[in-house]
Structure 1
């Protein structure tokens, strides 16, 4: 700069004449002119570039936005004072969602002219002159937002505000603003100013009414504040209502008390806002000076109506209402997240962000006319719930107690009834056709098809027996040891702390739900490198590696538990010939314009082979014909010829299950206490009989309503690849010879059929035919086989129970104790089949045992770890029926069915305090040799 100045000074000093001065002055002016021209041109280029970049940016933001048609825009703009509608599968209405706002849509002609003038003067004085947006207002708002200089005026016209309320989310991103501008211009193009103003006045929110309810639209505002129609509003009343949308919660004259409305003690802010609106009306020549002064003096406080209580809406199908609302909200959240270019999994990790989307989706559902379609069959749903309600008094004792209200801290009286969670699945599609969420929705909204509980022995075929068959480790008649045993500190027992004291077949183990043989088998398959996790996860049940490492998992000893829906869905895999179909209850969601925003897409996964599935069905058929669920043979009003199922009871009768399947459906029923207030209530010892009776009543009612759902006459056809071997009934091996006391003896007097998918029966041997067998067990068996009366197959009680073995056997089931054991000298055999194979029976001529049908299994110490036999414990619980002095204290600890219950994501409430109860209780009726 100094050099430039010196140059200019020297230039002027060198001037010798006026003509020389004039020439140099002209040259300087030309240089300055060119600098100005070039600078201006540069600025214009930069401005053009900025405008181009801005236009490109806006285009990029909006290019993924689908352009709505006029009809779609009209539907969305006029969708006010509505809420989503829930539907049964047949299209009949379930219920409308409760509205978050109260309102009624009215035409513009039924609104006070003062109200229309007040809104326009206050919110958008150029409303009748612009084309949906005001560029200078937008530019001013952008500069203010970028620089932080000046008041944030927003720059939104009434058209933009209407678009924002009715067509967009409430987020404040640049993308949403760009889309808002784009849609506002489109709305202004297709609709008249009167239509836009009418839509705005019906859609805007105006705070609370005298009942403490949120209100939408000027008619609800007029009625809720002044007790009159919108057409009857005077200037002062109109001005007050017109001032509310800027900040409804601040300016509204009422607050809410939870049961109704309450007048605020200070109304000054609302009154000041009203006067501002009146001034703007006067400024815009909408009212005269005299009207302005008169309205300012009007005593509006006396005009407000008195507070009142709000009436409550009764929900007819409470559990279904909540379930569908939660499911639809989740899908809307996913849609909103995706539209913003985010990933749902990432958003879930950010609680604040997820809550924002959740609130947005919730507002959409409760204020827009979405249509939510379900898979629920109305007749079947009603039939199931009627049976549950009629039978709930028989489920067990309802305990009453006092507890501390977690919200108020006050002592309240509470009742704990036996709860029921049941679900009916269509096996082929995975559709939930019906369910029972609980016994009393008014007292507990916890949906019990989603609470995590110990599955008890109902998990045995899923986690142990099917994987064993799939990998060729056993056949249906393979022998498993049921003797006193211990895996270091883990000592499982059968029902009532008993042992069968004999070898039992895999088929009979499932039929009578014995625990020790199941633990021996689970330990064995793990030693052979078979991972149950591989199969369970494919069926939608995800357990931890720690749980899989504990032997008690085969008896339901989980730390987290499973839900009724998960267990039913997993069980349906067998009916589907080894293919798992994901269960679902939400079929589609349609937005107010008629566009389907969500449609369920089915997912199928091959878990087991069709051969394994057939063998498991074949074995589990015996559960309902002569095993722990044999009472169904006379309790059901339909043929059980093609029905299979499994019972399950967790330690101390905390949980009781029955899951039954036909070709068409799977019906699962669970009963138990929530113990929400820290109590320790357990079911009665006959809970197995009770739950089966409930299951039968529901099944009978369902069958009467729609026989086609059951497809009861469809046989389980044996697929090619299932091999049937003739085996020795007592050993499960091929008939052959053994050496006994130095003599070679042929063993083949009692034979039966054993089904295999892979592998084949073992060769006859003295001491290697049973899984889990020990030398002393084999000696006891063979000595008895050859005539010695040594107590083999005599049920023994290991604990301190004062009940007889027959009492223990019958207390939870049908009480049948006869049958025949696997150590019989009868020439006949027994085999349960579901297809063309004959059904054999025989009387027991040797070593008959009195084996009941109470599935009460317990174990001592802590849970055993497979393979190494190590023990671990977690989740302290109530005492279990342990056979040692120290009760099992881990959820997965007792070698039996442990109970848990925690809540499930997305759809459900948190779980009751049952989590972590101990070992299993398994019902066990008559033992029958195969």
Structure 2
């Protein structure tokens, strides 16, 4: 009896020492631990997403090291939750945050009674480790992990812990959380995945990088683990054996591994605007939703039409093109595309140096240009700004100008004596005919009308030597009109341009040309150019929302007159023919072409009340086109084909 009593006393003493040691360890490690409440208080890093105008088409995600979209547990399918629990912690709903056996092993290892042991972590432990603790494998770290896991399990429901876990863990390919993983590997929302896909995602958690589906060897291991998890789901009673066998037979289709970006030239432009305003690092973790003005249906038409046009124009040695579409009433950019529409395409010709000698450089957005290379010469597409300025001075479309050989004085060290495109002169012509037919000589003479202090009855001067200052004054006022309508790239002193500006001697870009022409379409009212409609933060609060501010920059009658002239098919027919690419049988479309003297740039810009479109064709390295084809032949077909497809969707005849 005494021996039994002695044994009991020894056991009680040892057990007391054990409990004291356990309590001491808890106090020692717990003092430096973060509060479990931090889970409820913290901001989880999430990607910023850029959408089209409907919010249904994801154009691009801005993310740092973690691409993540938080989803509530209610949107995560049960078969995925079950698969993850089977794979990572089959007793998740039974234990108190840790596996008791693992807890004893960890404590004994800390007391040096057993060797250090690792692995077999529960879901709460994994969550604690991935959020608060380092990945260093030490007894101290493991003990901290266990203590905090117990506290986490005590304070929060199992479902809440599971929700945090499923939104926290890495799945490889920069995808964190189940929604980002579903999008990355299957191209669908997490609530849309089926059983075999769910088991595959659960399989990735163990080793997301060594089980990647994008390497054949690791893919085999991933699929084998997927089947193992399906068998375990049967064992745990989550699914039937028949369901598991059917899921094993189904072939898993993985989304192609590539950088996902739709409408890249528009989207990267929007991204640069956002980063300039809010900062790149902030956007990578903010979880914002950016709703852009892009109409993705119109965008797809634009991309297809430009690709077809480039193929057709290769016969003229034209290997690039750009198209921009803007809504005149709202200033919203509806479409923007360059070249093949693929930002990751190969430069052409093969082996060329981008920025130096490439005919096509996919990384350069010619639709918006850069500070160093703001645009291309617009040719005669600039003329409407000149004529609008003349109409502001009180002249009308019936005013007569003599179209004849003319000396405009000395510019750039030599006398300037331009000709019309066809080399012919037509004598007396009205301003309507001169603009509609894009006659060069009468259009330059219009500068004199603008710059002259006195009203002129008709203009027949054929020698402007000594009158250069008057031309410059007219040019100055015309540049102001262009700037009022939205052109920002013509910032040099007026003397740097000279009268050749009438024929497009400056540099503009397709975006601003579409925008400036949209003011004519909107009867002289300019609204701010708007690629972004609304921005919401991760909680749904509105950060930014577009406002429809309106500014009158041109008299409505003048805007309507320009529109009427540019849509007057009879007036332009003597130069372009009655059935040119500027003519639309069922719609009234105002349009203007532009071709530079050396055939390096071809434009067609035009509009209806619903849409303003700018098309540019040329080469990145500024190489000239061959066969001396005008813009109506090179850019016109792209313009016409695009509007023929789009107008039935947005307007009435």
**TM-score, normalising length from structure 1?**
0.42
Q: Per-residue displacement from partner, 1:479-531 (whole Å, max 9, x unpaired)?
A: 24432313122313124583517333212211221112211221342243652
1:498 alignment partner, SS class:
coil
Q: Residues 623 and 447 of structure 1: is their aligned pair in 2 closer, same or farther, counting only changes over 3 Å?
A: farther
Asked if the contact 2:581–2:640 (Cα under 8 Å) also holds between the matched residues in 1, the reply is no
Deviations 1:223-260 (A, max 9, x none): xxxx9979879xxxxxxx9xxxxxxxxxxx99xxxx99
Q: Distance in 2 between matches of 1:231 and 1:511?
A: 67
Q: Secondary structure at the match of 1:86?
A: strand
| Pair 1:195–1:201, CA change in 2 (3 A) | same
The 5 A counterparts of 1:718-733 are none
Q: Which moved more, 1:569-578 or 1:492-501?
A: 492-501
Alignment partner, residue 526 of structure 2: 580
- In structure 2, the residue matched to 1:359 is 280
Q: 1:694: Cα distance to partner? A: 1.8
The SS at the match of 1:313 is coil
Query: What is the Cα deviation at residue 583 of structure 1?
Result: 2.4
In the other structure, the counterpart of 1:525 is 450
Asked whether the 8 Å contact 1:76–1:592 carries over to 2, the reply is no
> 2:126 & 2:300 partners in 1: Cα distance?
52
8 Å contact from structure 2 (residues 60, 260) kept in 1: no
Give, in whole Å, the separation in 2 of the partners of 1:318 and 1:522.
40
Correspondence for 2:367: 449
For the residue of structure 2 that corresponds to 1:326, the secondary structure is helix
Whether contact under 8 Å (1:589, 1:597) holds in the other structure is: yes
Question: Which of residues 125, 132, 151 is equivalent to 1:113?
Answer: 125
Instruction: Rate the CA distance shift 1:521–1:91 in 2: closer, same or farther, 3 A.
Output: same
Which whole-Å CA distance do the structure 2 matches of 1:576 and 1:114 have between them? 60
Give 1:47-86 correspondences, 5 Å limit.
Answer: 77=42, 79-80=44-45, 82-86=46-50
In the alignment, the residues of structure 2 paired with residue 518 and residue 314 of structure 1 have an alpha-carbon distance, to the nearest angstrom, of: 47
- Does the C-alpha gap of structure 1 residues 667 and 103 become closer, same or farther in structure 2, counting only changes over 3 Å? closer
Deviation at 1:457, TM superposition (A): 0.8
* Contact 2:263/2:337, CA 8 A, preserved across alignment: no
Q: CA deviation at 1:611?
A: 1.9
For the pair shown, the structure with the greater C-alpha radius of gyration is: 1
User: Which residue in 2 is equivalent to 1:137?
Assistant: none
Q: Aligned partners of 2:180, 2:380: CA distance in 1, in Å?
A: 58
- SS of 2:330's equivalent? coil
Q: 1:492 to 1:196 in 2, by over 3 A?
A: farther
Is 2:265–2:336's contact at 8 Å kept on the other side of the alignment? Answer: no
Question: Cα gap change, 1:318/1:618 in structure 2, threshold over 3 Å: closer, same or farther?
Answer: closer
Structure 2 residue corresponding to 1:507, chosen from 432, 444, 465: 432
The counterpart of 2:338, out of the listed 437, 440, 447, is: 437
Could you tell me which of 392, 399, 408 is aligned with 2:310? Answer: 392
Q: Give the match for residue 491 of structure 2.
A: 544
Q: Find out whether 1:487 has 2:433 as its counterpart.
A: no
Distance 1:695 1:232 in 2: 54
Alpha-carbon offset, residue 115 of structure 1: 7.7
* C-alpha contact 1:588 1:599 (8 A) present in aligned 2: yes
Cα distance in 2 between the residues matched to 1:198 and 1:440: 42
How far is the alpha carbon of 1:114 from its aligned partner?
A: 7.7
Distance 1:467 1:589 in 2: 38
Which sections of structure 2, spanning at least 5 residues, go unmatched?
A: 1-37, 71-83, 93-121, 182-200, 216-255, 346-361, 370-374, 454-472
Indicate how the Cα distance of structure 1 residues 318 and 359 shifts in structure 2: closer, same or farther if over 3 A, else same: closer
Change (3 A) 1:577 1:537: same
Residue 700 (structure 1) aligned with residue 644 (structure 2): yes
1:114-513 aligned at under 5 Å gives the runs 116=128, 311-331=257-277, 333=278, 358-364=279-285, 368-397=286-315, 418-441=319-342, 442-443=344-345, 444-451=362-369, 452-462=375-385, 464-488=386-410, 489-495=414-420, 498=423, 500=425, 502-513=427-438
Query: What is the rounded CA distance, in whole Å, between the counterparts of 2:125 and 2:134 in structure 1?
Result: 14
Q: Measured at CA, do residues 683 and 85 of structure 1 come closer, stay the same or move farther in structure 2, by a change above 3 Å?
A: farther
TM-score (norm 2): 0.58
In the alignment, the residues of structure 1 paired with residue 206 and residue 445 of structure 2 have an alpha-carbon distance, to the nearest angstrom, of 83
Aligned length: 445
Identify if the C-alpha distance between structure 1 residues 196 and 92 changes in structure 2 by more than 3 Å, giving closer, same or farther: closer
Choose which of 89, 105, 108 in structure 1 pairs with 2:53: 89
Q: C-alpha offsets along residues 839-889 of structure 1, whole Å, 9 cap, x if unaligned?
A: xxxxxxxxxxxxxxxxxxxxxxxxxxxxxxxxxxxxxxxxxxxxxxxxxxx
Deviation per CA, 1:542-568, whole angstroms, max 9, x where unpaired? 32352466221122111xx11111111
Cross-structure match for 1:68 = none
Distance 2:281 2:423 in 1: 57
Once the two structures are superposed, what CA deviation does each residue of 1:155-212 show, in whole Å capped at 9, x if it has no partner?
Answer: xxx9xxxxxxxxxxxxxxxxxxxxxxxxxxxxx9xx9699999999889899xx9x8x
CA distance in 1, matches of 2:636, 2:206: 65
The Cα RMSD (Å) is 4.5
Verify the 8 A CA contact 2:60 2:261 in the aligned structure 1. Answer: no
Structure-2 change in CA distance of 1:113 and 1:383 (3 Å): closer
SS of residue matched to 1:653: coil
Q: Any conservation in 2 of the 1:455–1:556 contact (CA below 8 Å)?
A: yes
Distance 2:126 2:40 in 1: 28
Output the CA distance in 1 between the equivalents of 2:442 and 2:176. 66
SS in 1 for 2:612: strand
Partner residue in 2 for 1:626: 573
CA-to-aligned-CA distance 1:249-277 (integer Å, 9 cap, x gap): xxxx99xxxx99xxxxxxxxxxxxxxxxx
Alpha-carbon shift at residue 397 of structure 1 (Å): 4.0
CA pair 567-628 structure 1, distance change in 2 beyond 3 A: farther
Name the SS for the 1:652 alignment partner. Answer: coil
Q: Structure 1 or 2: larger helix share?
A: 2
**One of 639, 645, 654 as aligned partner of 2:586:** 639
Aligned positions of 1:517-916 closer than 5 A:
517-528=442-453, 531-542=477-488, 543-547=490-494, 550-558=498-506, 561-622=507-568, 626=573, 628-630=575-577, 632=579, 638-640=585-587, 642-675=588-621, 680-682=623-625, 684-688=627-631, 689-704=633-648, 706=649, 709-712=650-653
Show structure 1 runs of 5+ residues with no match: 1-72, 130-157, 159-187, 222-226, 234-240, 242-252, 261-309, 334-357, 400-416, 713-930
Please name the residue that 1:101 is paired with: 65
| Counterpart contact for 1:664–1:711, Cα < 8 Å | no
Distance 1:439 1:220 in 2: 29
What is the alpha-carbon distance in structure 1 between the residues aligned to residue 638 and residue 206 of structure 2? Answer: 60
1:426 positional shift: 1.8
